[in-house]
Amino acid sequence: MLIKVKAFPCSKEDKVVKKKEDSFDVFVEAEAERNMANKRIIELLAGYFDLPQTKVKMIKGFKESSKIFDIRDKI
């Protein structure tokens, strides 16, 4: 399943907010430097979907706030 994510780095708290069925806002305390925010977003999405981090893959948006992730919930 592909989802759209709008990233908000340097936020006061880490949280995932569902906007639509395939659209999320993700707030992270980590800075948008050295891939720290992207790694934390993957951790938060894996926790939200109750999956291991290896099942969450970023497809697009490595250096942008709008991102696309592939959530692989099947083996």
Which structural domain, as residue segments, surrounds residue 29?
2-71
Residue 20, domain CATH: 3.30.1200.10
DSSP bridge pairs for 18? 24
The domain total for the chain is 1
Tens digit of each residue's pLDDT (9 = 90 or more) over 5-38: 999 999 999 999 999 999 999 999 999 999 999 9
Helix (H, G, I), strand (E, B) or coil at 17: strand
Q: How many CB atoms lie within 10 A of CB 56?
A: 22
pTM: 0.92
| Residue found by looking up tokens 């906007």 in the block | 19
CB-CB contact of 73 with 52 (8 Å): no
